[in-house]
Chains A and B, each alone.
Chain A
Amino acid sequence: MILPWLILIPFIGGLLCWQGERFGPTLPRWIALITMSLLTALALWLWTTGTYTYAPVPGADPSWAVEFKAQWIQRFGISVHLALDGLSLLMILLTGLLGILSVLCSWKEIQRNVGFFHLNLMWILGGVVGVFLAIDLFMFFFFWEMMLVPMFFLIALWGHSSADGKKTRIYAATKFFIFTQASGLIMLVAILGLVLVHFNQTGVITFAYADLLKTKLSHSTEYILMLGFFIAFAVKLPIVPLHSWLPDAHAQAPTAGSVDLAGILLKTAAYGLLRFALPLFPNASAEFAPIAMILGLIGIFYGAFLAFAQTDIKRLIAFSSVSHMGFVLIGIYSGSQQALQGVVVQMLAHGLSAAALFILSGQLYERLHTRDMREMGGLWNKIAYLPAISLFFAAASLGLPGTGNFVGEFLILIGTFVSAPWITAIATSGLVFGSVYSLIMIHRAYFGPAKTDAVYKGMDGREMIMVLGLAVLLVLLGIYPQPILDTSSATMHGVQQWLGTAFTQLASAR
């Protein structure tokens, strides 16, 4: 019964926050904080007590570390079917952790409708946990769409409009919603297609993951259905050219929105690829792999160039996410155990480092009331500790060894190198580009002569704990990633086998 609670806790907590506002604006914050701490604690408890050697592998019914099943709509074979393995556990852990941080970073930033804000925040996180747990495809789609709505409100109601007034928060929220909604519908069609094919073969209507895995698909059907899933995940990851909602949404969202978007929502896409797109359609995915890798390459460089060209510090970080997710995409389609494990580390590390960078730029905004780097400069001596900590996360973002980002990127690259040396070689040069945009951010904001005589207030305890905590976690992930790797090992082994077998078949067919 613990799995439904993982989803219910944020939803119930959200309702309590909403009603708690009657007793003043502070109560919802505390309720939200306790809710997220509870979620994180539960996830940690699951991590320490569970065994994560069970995971779906090809050729057998999927086995899980924890599973929960209840009938829902029997007529269509839809059930409330939740399951947990190493990968989903790590993702939930990240969700809980960043949930705590997004509550903390909104502590002073959000002053209007505090209760409703936290309702939305909690419901986003609840939806995300649902995505990570659902293994009934209908449930998965339900949560996938569900998390968009509170996110829409978060950006539309508490966001900032851009300084020149050209891009409003409503515009960004609408763009985000339409992009993800439209792509979600394509996935729904693909899901229904898969269910129908399965129905034609067996006479049973079911949305269950375990059953659908056994569906035999003709070559072209498999490819088309795979594309349906891929496009939905491609928009969310995001993959160039479907990325353009991301910078707008990030720039206009409140800090907590950016933290959740970059830290968790993007990861649902990578998770979806690993959990659904590859296992359900291994042969089509293997055939599609070169295209996906090239899309990943384009993402790395397009994101890097655009990050460099930005003047808005939040847009810079947003585009750097596009670049980093390019590495993730390459790793996912490499079919190598090292690269897939690298993908897991990279997802966690990017979640932590991007969240920290967004939190830091939020803290800068609270002091300077601008996100425009042209108006910054020479801030190093003006704000105690903040610049040095920013520098640390910039170094993490450019993949400096000793941080989790390096472990992730290097594992992805060395794993991919065996099968695709040229793609890896080009992707590796992305490390140079990464350092260009990371350093230019530090350079523009903190170095050079000071622009004003104003001295800004230093960081308080809350601000300090958030970013230092993230820094410590990132270093831990960089120096001792083994517990993480062990947890996700079984899941990634399964994914590797699905794709690996398909690769061998593809090679022998040629």
Chain B
Amino acid sequence: MHAEHSSLLFLLIALPALGALFNGLTGRKLKNDKLVHTVAIAAVAIPAVIAWVLFFQLAGMDHHNRALEQTLFNWIHVGSFQIDFTLWLDPLSAVMLLIITNIGALIHLYSVGYMKGDASYYRFFSYLNLFIFAMLCLVLGKNLLVLFLGWEGVGLASYLLIGFWFEDRENAVAGKKAFIVNRVGDFGFALGMMALFVVFGTLSPAGDGGINAQLAANPNGFDTNWIEAAAILLFIGACGKSAQIPLYIWLPDAMAGPTPVSALIHAATMVTAGVYMIARMNVLFFHAEFASSIVLMVGAATALLAATIGLVQNDIKKVLAYSTVSQLGFMFVAMGAGAYAIGVFHLMTHAFFKALLFLASGAVIVACHHEQNIFKMGGLWKKLPLAYASFIVGGAALAALPLVTAGFYSKDEILWEAFASGHQYLLYAGLVGAFMTSLYTFRLIFIAFHGEAKTEAHAGHGISHWLPLSVLIVLSTFIGAWIHPPLAGVLPESAGHAGGEAKHSLEIASGAIALAGILLAALLFLGKRRLVTAIANSGPGRFLSAWWFAAWGFDWVYDVLFVKPYLAISRILRGDPLDHTIGLIPRLVKAGNGLMSRTETGQLRWYAASIAAGAVLVLGAIVLV
């Protein structure tokens, strides 16, 4: 593949970095909120414009060689380990780039209103720009090590933003948890890179001589065990960043951060990094069948598990968080089934409607004076028409309501691909998951927006409020699904590409299931909710809802398995037992000193006797030996 040089790529990462530095260094002194957000928005909006320019440049290129690159400098060259800091834009990274910069710019705009008056206004925007910088390094890095730089950078930004209101220890704890759980995934990622380097001698997936090209040219020339191992290790990294079982536990807690952060980082962009990484490494995963089947299983299990948890949560953001986990599971199903382009397509539509839902929930939360419990809301639809409309459109897209929503087109494709790749049971699992999705989504909407009003609510206003929401509303409908990323040159065609009769029946079935979920939600949660109360109060109902509410007890298990032993070990070691062991030497010396000095009694008898005893001993030894 021949890539053209483009010197614009550099600006994409430089501007957000400068924005973050500028606000971080001067914000405290200047105390000018207007300057802060102008700089911060410009640092994302200009890259967004550049992104479109580059996208059209790519679209105009020959589709076999659709890539732009720019090498900034040699990063690390030691012997055969050659890492350049190269930015690489092909259609896959272009899709991510457009999502990050455009949705990023909208959310920056939204934050102007949301964070108004916060004492650390500058700090928020500085972190947000830092995040955009790192995320762009992640998607633009040609090399896995540059990707990893971004990967860790977004982790840091996420840590800082989750704990943004750190005066409350719980928020800071949630940030710490997110970082450490992600580090567990990074451990796998790092080892995966090492394995790849051993096998391929490079860490570059794309381009000539890259891992994908090497494998495609010589599929049987590499040790399968190493390939499987590398793929599984990379997937462990993806599980951390993209919140899959067993590492999903940090994402619900991450909702402690300001809501625009949840929208940008913990729904639309960062959490999809794992999906992107697998798409980037698609040839590797294609040749790692066992690893792919693990991806498939984990994705499906996560999709179902998170949906059950989402059914019983009370916190508006937690419901959305679990729905994100669940939707990411669907994306991984696509990845495991080899339908990489479909997974990326769902990534894109999900970014639209999930960002919309989070921003709308932010509007609701602010309107209800930072109340997040949906049972304390109710009847909001009259007072918050825009938020209500956003929830209806976004929720419909999440539930994949047929024909009119963006989510329908992408999620249906995933179900179809799962089926077409020969995993029929996964189709059923997917349908159950889809049913639960529409059930918990509309449970949330019916409880929060219908019924009797329980709080005073004040609608948001200003361009920073309505513009981002309106744009995302439009994108969450079927209009968003018209944007078909031109991924054909980068990602392989999947098994179900051809479509067929069965696909149409599946579409009808899944559409019906989505509607059924909504109807059931209406039946249960509109009106007096007698039925649902009865179910919840029955024995199994109580048990299940408690169990699901506690997220299946994962946190508890980890606490017992890892946290408690860790604390116990560090308590045992606190006094540095090895120091005490070494400390025995001086103690022995001192004891010996005490013993010997006791013989110094000053009594002549004692000395005479010991001289005599010594003489006897020596003589005896001579005689005997």
Q: A residues near B, CB below 8 A?
A: 240-244, 247, 302, 305-306, 308-310, 337-338, 341-342, 378, 380-381, 384-385, 388, 395, 400-402, 406-407, 410-411, 413-415, 417-418, 421, 424-425, 428-429, 431-432, 435-436, 439-440, 443, 446-450, 479-482, 485, 489
**In the bound complex, how far is the Cα of B148 from the Cα of A400, in angstroms?**
10
Query: B151 contacts which chain A residues (CB < 8 A)?
Result: 401
19 sampled A-B residue pairs with Cβ under 8 A: A242-B582, A243-B578, A308-B566, A309-B571, A338-B81, A380-B166, A384-B28, A385-B28, A402-B153, A410-B190, A411-B78, A413-B194, A414-B81, A428-B187, A428-B190, A432-B187, A439-B179, A482-B77, A485-B76
- Is A306 a contact partner of B574 (Cβ separation < 8 A)? yes
Task: Flag if A436 contacts B180 (CB, 8 Å).
Answer: yes
Do the beta carbons of A400 and B152 come within 8 Å of each other? yes
B153 CB contacts on chain A under 8 angstroms: 400-402
Pairwise interchain contact B148-A481, C-beta atoms closer than 8 A: no
Which B residues are CB-close (under 8 A) to A417?
191, 194-195, 197-198
A342 to B583, CA, bound (A): 34
C-alpha gap A454/B76 in the complex (Å): 46
Query: Is A439 a contact partner of B176 (Cβ separation < 8 A)?
Result: yes
Contact A447 B169 (CB under 8 A): yes
Q: Which 8 A-B pairs have the closest CB atoms?
A: A244-B579, A447-B172, A401-B149, A309-B570, A241-B578, A447-B166, A417-B194, A309-B574
Task: Let me know if B166 and A341 touch, CB within 8 A.
Answer: no
CA distance A450 to B168 in the complex (A): 10
- Indicate if the CB atoms of A302 and B573 lie closer than 8 Å: yes
Known contacts A244-B582, A308-B570, then 12 further A-B pairs from the complex at CB < 8 Å, ordered by chain A residue: A244-B578, A400-B156, A401-B148, A414-B197, A417-B198, A435-B180, A447-B172, A448-B167, A450-B167, A479-B85, A480-B73, A481-B75
Task: Evaluate contact between A241 and B581: CB separation under 8 angstroms.
Answer: yes
- The verdict on B468 contacting chain A, using a C-beta distance below 8 Å, is no
B601 within 8 A of A: no
Q: Do residues B156 and A395 form an inter-chain contact, with CB atoms below 8 A? A: yes
On whether the beta carbons of A302 and B77 are closer than 8 Å, the reply is: no
Point out the residue from A337, A341, A429 that lies within 8 Å of B187, measured CB to CB: A429
B569 within 8 A of A: yes
Q: Are B186 and A431 touching (Cβ within 8 A)?
A: yes
Contact status B78-A337, CB under 8 Å: yes
Residue in A closest to B571 when the chains form the complex, CB atoms: A309
Nearest CB on A from B232, distance (A) = 13
Could you give, for residues 177-195 of chain B, a 1 whenever the CB lies within 8 Å of some chain A CB and a 0 otherwise?
Answer: 0011001101100110111
Q: CB < 8 Å: which of B24, B81, B169, B184 contacts A411?
A: B81
Q: Across the interface, name the chain A residue whose C-beta is closest to B198.
A: A418
CB distance from B226 to the nearest CB of A (A): 10
Q: Please determine whether A485 and B184 come into contact, CB atoms closer than 8 angstroms.
A: no
Given contacts A241-B578, A447-B163, contact A480 B149 (CB under 8 A): no
Chain A residues within an 8 Å CB radius of B163: 447
Give the distance to chain B from A317, nearest Cβ to Cβ, in Å.
Answer: 15
Question: Which A residues lie within 8 Å of B152 (CB)?
Answer: 400-402, 406
B456 within 8 A of A: no
Task: Find out whether the CB atom of B167 lies under 8 angstroms from the CB atom of A306.
Answer: no
Tell me whether B501 is interfacial, beta carbon within 8 Å: no
Q: Which residues of B contact A436 (CB under 8 A)?
A: 180, 566
Q: Name the residue on A nearest B166 (C-beta).
A: A447
Give the contacting residue for A482; candidates B76, B179, B190, B573; CB below 8 A.
Answer: B76
Q: Quick one: closest B residue to A449, CB to CB?
A: B167
Question: Once the chains bind, are A240 and B578 in contact (CB under 8 Å)?
Answer: yes
Chain B nearest CB from A459 CB (Å) reads 12
Q: How far is the CA of A150 from the CA of B583 in the complex (A)?
A: 24
- Residues from chain A with a CB closer than 8 A to the CB of B186 are 431
Which residue of chain B has its CB nearest to the CB of A319?
B576
A310 to B187, alpha carbons, bound, how many Å?
25
Q: How many angstroms from the CA of A244 to the CA of B578 in the assembled complex?
A: 8
B191 close to A425 (CB less than 8 A) = yes
Is A411 a contact partner of B574 (Cβ separation < 8 A)?
no
B residues 138-176 near A (Cβ < 8 Å) are 145, 148-149, 151-153, 156, 159, 163, 166-169, 172-173, 176
| Cross-chain contact of B180 among A337, A342, A432 (Cβ < 8 A) | A432
Q: Is the CB of B166 within 8 A of A244?
A: no
Q: Identify A338's interface contact among B78, B167, B187, CB under 8 A.
A: B78
A305 CA / B574 CA spacing, docked (Å):
8
B60 interface residue, CB < 8 Å from A? no
Query: Residues of B contacting A402 with CB < 8 Å?
Result: 149, 152-153
Query: Does B79 belong to the interface (CB within 8 Å)?
Result: yes
Kindly list chain B residues whose C-beta atoms are within 8 Å of the C-beta of A378.
167
Q: Complex Cα distance A262/B169, Å?
A: 32
Chain B residues lying within 8 Å of A385, measured Cβ to Cβ, are: 28
Q: Given A244-B579, A309-B574, A480-B73, are A338 and B190 also a contact pair (CB < 8 Å)? A: no
A54 to B573, CA, bound (A): 46
Near A by CB (< 8 A), chain B positions 536-577 give 566, 569-571, 573-574, 576
Q: Report which residue of B79, B163, B198 has the largest number of chain A beta carbons within 10 angstroms of its beta carbon.
A: B79
**What per-residue 1/0 map shows which CB atoms of B13-39 lie under 8 Å from chain A?**
000000000001000100000000000
CA distance A481 to B76 in the complex (A): 7
Q: Is B74 an interface residue (CB 8 A)?
A: yes
Tell me the minimal C-beta distance from B13 to chain A in angstroms.
12
In Å, the complex CA distance between A240 and B581 comes to: 12
For B77, list chain A residues within 8 Å (CB). Answer: 482, 485
| Chain A residues whose CB sits within 8 angstroms of the CB of B578 once the complex forms | 240-241, 243-244, 302
Q: For the complex, give the distance between the alpha carbons of A400 and B195 in Å.
A: 20
CA distance A418 to B77 in the complex (A): 17
From A305, A410, A413, A450, B569 is in contact (CB under 8 Å) with A305
In angstroms, Cα B583 to Cα A243, docked, is: 12
| Cα(A342)–Cα(B76), bound, Å | 10
Report Cα–Cα, A384/B79, bound state, in Å. Answer: 44
Complex contact A414–B193 (CB within 8 A) = yes
Cβ-defined contact, B78 with A341, below 8 A: yes
Q: Given the known A-B contacts A306-B574, A309-B573, are A431 and B190 also in contact in the complex, defined by CB atoms under 8 Å?
A: yes
Q: Which residue of A lies closest to B184 (CB)?
A: A432
- Residue of B at shortest CB range from A345? B76
Which A-chain residue is minimally distant from B570 (CB atoms)?
A309
Once the chains bind, are A448 and B81 in contact (CB under 8 Å)?
no
**CB atoms of B183 and A432 under 8 A apart:** yes
Tell me how far the C-beta of A220 lies from the nearest C-beta in chain B, rounded to whole angstroms: 26
Give chain A residues whose Cβ lies under 8 Å from the Cβ of B573.
302, 305-306, 309
Closest to A378 in B: B167
CA distance A499 to B75 in the complex (A): 27
Residues of chain A with a CB closer than 8 A to B24's CB? 388
What residue of chain B has the Cβ atom nearest to residue A308's Cβ? B570
Q: Which residues of A contact B581 (CB under 8 A)?
A: 241
Q: Which residues of A contact B81 (CB under 8 A)?
A: 338, 411, 414-415
Tell whether, in the assembled complex, residue B183 and residue A431 are in contact, meaning their CB atoms are under 8 Å apart: yes
- Shortest Cβ distance from residue B522 to the other chain A in the assembled complex, whole angstroms: 44
Q: Which of B63-109 contact A (CB under 8 A)?
A: 73-79, 81, 85
B190 touches A413 (CB 8 A): yes
Q: What is the distance, in angstroms, from A179's C-beta to the closest C-beta of chain B? A: 9
Select which of B85, B145, B183 is within 8 A of A435 by beta carbon. Answer: B183
Within the assembled complex, what's the spacing in Å between the Cα atoms of A479 and B17? 14
Q: Using Cβ atoms and an 8 Å threshold, which residues of chain B touch A241? A: 578, 581-582
- B residues 374-401 touching A (CB-CB < 8 Å): none
Given known pairs A395-B156, A485-B76, the reply for A306 and B576 (CB within 8 Å) is: yes
Report yes or no: B576 in contact with A439, Cβ–Cβ below 8 A: no
How far is A12 from B177 in the complex, measured between Cα atoms in Å? Answer: 52
Could you tell me the distance in whole angstroms from the C-beta of A234 to the nearest C-beta in chain B? 13
Residues of chain A with a CB closer than 8 A to B169's CB: 447-449
B149, B166, B180, B574: which contacts A448 (Cβ < 8 A)?
Answer: B166
Chain B residues, CB < 8 A from A341: 78
User: In the assembled complex, how far is the CB of residue A401 from the closest CB belonging to chain B, in whole angstroms?
Assistant: 4
Nearest Cβ on chain B to A463's Cβ, whole angstroms: 16
CB distance from A462 to the nearest CB of B (A): 18
What's the Cα separation between A308 and B149 when bound, in Å? Answer: 26
Residue from the set A241, A338, A401 with the largest chain B CB neighbour count within 10 Å: A401
Q: Which chain A residues border B571 with CB–CB below 8 Å?
A: 309
Residues of A within 8 A of B79 (CB): 337-338
